[in-house]
Amino acid sequence: EDKVVQSPLSLVVHEGDTVTLNCSYEVTNFRSLLWYKQEKKAPTFLFMLTSSGIEKKSGRLSSILDKKELFSILNITATQTGDSAVYLCAVLGGYKYIFGTGTRLKVLA
Amino acid sequence: GAVVSQHPSRVICKSGTSVKIECRSLDFQATTMFWYRQFPKQSLMLMATSNEGSKATYEQGVEKDKFLINHASLTLSTLTVTSAHPEDSSFYICSADGRGGMNTEAFFGQGTRLTVV
């Protein structure tokens, strides 16, 4: 059975800290791995990763994929209170997206 | 980026009635749309995959007669919750991609919070 597991489930940090969120997967017909940020409503897209070892970066956020070890990490440096959200990892396998449990991040001022 | 519009954003209905939720792709043709359900503090659970012009593919445990999905055009899919009960109260989100799921991000609608009283 396909599965996507994220860790930690929740995390509380202070502004300025750096956090690393993990996503491991076992999905047949892997095509890509995606990271989303969900605040109150619909998830917003952060990154899509298809190749191992190539870091994707957007401001203070970066992500990398390891297709051999079947995991990805999402790094957030110099965290801000606006980074507080649930971060979802999804894997596109075959024709559908399988979502992880999410990591709930809370950044304290 | 591509825009997916979901309507309504919030609905309250009486137990036993049916509710229709619409999901539209505004600036691209969505060959495939996905319907998810999300319980509080939980992740998105895929309910069904909707392909234009064909029957939806439901995930295990999802009642197809209760959650009717219609994907009549390349820009519109609808989810109808029939004979709603309080346990159907949840957050429903649709997503769409324009290339049949081939290495593309999923674009999400705004979600619909359904409350059945």
Residue A100 touches chain B, beta carbons under 8 Å: yes
Structure tokens at A13: 């940090």
Question: Do residues A77 and A83 touch, judged by C-beta distance below 8 A?
Answer: no
Tell me the percentage of chain B whose pLDDT exceeds 70: 92
Query: Looking at residue B55, what is its pLDDT?
Result: 87
Q: How many residues does chain A have?
A: 109
CB A34 within 8 A of CB A45: yes
8 Å CB contact between B110 and A41: yes
Q: What is the rounded distance in angstroms from the CA atom of residue A104 to the CA atom of residue A101?
A: 9
B43 and A43 within 8 Å at the Cβ level: the answer is no
On chain A, the residues whose CB falls within 8 A of the CB of B41 are 104
Pick among A39, A95, A98, A105 to test the B interface (most B CBs inside 10 A): A95
Residue B79 in this model has a pLDDT that exceeds 80 = yes
B80-108 pLDDT, tens per residue? 999 999 999 999 999 987 654 455 677 88
How many CB pairs below 8 A link A and B?
61
pLDDT at A25 over 90: yes
Q: Which residue has the higher pLDDT, A61 or B41?
A: A61
Q: How many CB atoms lie within 10 A of CB A76?
A: 23
**What's the pLDDT tens digit per position in A27-84?**
988 989 999 999 877 888 899 999 999 999 999 999 999 999 999 999 999 999 999 9
pLDDT tens digits, one per residue of A8-24: 999 999 999 999 999 99
Mean pLDDT over the full length of chain B: 88
In the predicted model, is pLDDT for residue A3 greater than 70?
yes
Looking at residue B74, its pLDDT comes to: 86
The DSSP code for B105 is P
CB contact under 8 A, A97 and B95: yes
Closest-CA distance, A102 to chain B, in angstroms, reads 6
